[in-house]
Amino acid sequence: MNRRLLVPALLLALAGLLAAAAAAASARSGAKTPVKVEVFAPAAGDVAGKQSKGFFVDLALSYPSAASSGADFQLTGPKGHMNIPPFPGAFGLGADEKLPGLIVLLSTTTVGARNGQNLAGLFNLTGFTNQKTNEIWDTWIAGDSLFGRNVRSVLRVAVAADKNHDGIYNDAPAAIPDANGDGHITNVDLKAFGVASNIVTVPFEIRD
Ligand SMILES: [Ca+2]
Ligand SMILES: [Ca+2]
């Protein structure tokens, strides 16, 4: 091969490698997962809350079909807010019966299974945003300072895999086990449990 041909050939080979790398990165980021998770709040780096409570976790989920979400609407909360019309729902630590695949973890949770505790059952507001994309929005306002005071925290959100193969993403656990035994619940442990979505990871701060 002469020199004139050699340089373009190398560039073509390089371009091919870059395209392959981009495709691999896209696959790793979960672009092809059946369920899509998008987190609106907090954003990375936010200093959230007042008195280390009252911060939002606000997110959207898109499913392959409405039926596969297993979702229903709710407007609920602690104490007198619980199970009242027009959109009654339970309220507490663990999976959320109204959005039964959702897994929400905060690395600084001080109650239950702590950093492995699924907080989805604390979400207050669940509604159907767009039937064309089977999109559901879900919002939580943290009602107490049980999720760390004046700390750097990491939010992780995902939807559990269809573990029981009933065609519905309704398999979120009460807590995520520490699969690799390193004392932290991270994306490694979420993947070991099994997820049907991308995993959104948001580092932020909870402050007084
Ligand atoms: Ca299922
Ligand atoms: Ca772990």
CA of 122 to the centre of ligand 1 (A): 21
Claim to verify: residue 24 and residue 44 sit in the same structural domain: no
Dump the DSSP string for 140-189. Answer: EE--SS-S-SSEEEEEEEEEB--TT-SSS-----SB---TT-SSS--HHH
Going by pLDDT thresholds of 50, 70 and 90, the confidence category of residue 18 is: very low
CA 155 / ligand 2 centre spacing (Å): 15
Residues 184 and 114 in one domain: yes
Q: Which ligand is nearest to the CA of 193?
A: 2
The verdict on 19 and 80 lying in the same domain is no
Going 44 to 116 to 147 to 137, the CA torsion angle's sign is positive
Neighbours of 183 (CB within 10 A): 7
* Same-domain status, 19 and 84: no
What's the token pair of residue 44? 């990375």
Q: Kindly indicate the confidence band of residue 4, based on its pLDDT and cuts at 50, 70 and 90.
A: low
Asked if 178 and 128 sit in the same domain, the reply is yes
Q: Could you list which residues have their CB under 5 Å from ion ligand 1?
A: 162, 164, 166, 168, 170-171
Position 32 scores a pLDDT of: 86
What angle (nearest 5°) sits at the alpha carbon of residue 189, between those of residues 166 and 18?
95
For residues 84 and 103, membership in a common domain is answered with: yes
- Ligand 2 ion: Cβ-proximal residues, 5 Å cutoff: 178, 180, 182, 184, 189
Q: Is 70 in the same domain as 8?
A: no
Q: Once rounded to an integer, what is the mean pLDDT over residues 24-29?
A: 46
Same domain as 86, residue 148? yes
Q: What's residue 24's pLDDT?
A: 45
Determine the structural domain holding residue 151 and report its residue range.
33-206
Q: For the whole model, what pTM was predicted?
A: 0.86
Residues 65 and 27 in one domain: no
Q: What letter represents residue 14's amino acid?
A: L
Pair 125, 77 in one domain: yes
Instruction: Check whether 2 has a pLDDT greater than 80.
Output: no
Q: Is the separation of the CB atoms in 102 and 171 below 8 Å? A: no
What is the number of structural domains in the chain?
A: 2
User: pLDDT tens, 145-190?
Assistant: 999 999 999 999 999 999 999 999 999 999 999 999 999 999 999 9
Distance 5 CA to ligand 2 centre (A): 51
Say if residue 58 is in the same domain as residue 92.
Answer: yes
Regarding whether 39 and 8 lie in a shared domain, the answer is no
Only one residue has tokens 């709710």, namely: 74
Inform me whether the pLDDT recorded for 16 exceeds 60: no
User: Average pLDDT, stretch 122-127?
Assistant: 98
HSE-CB for 119 with a 13 A CA cutoff: 28
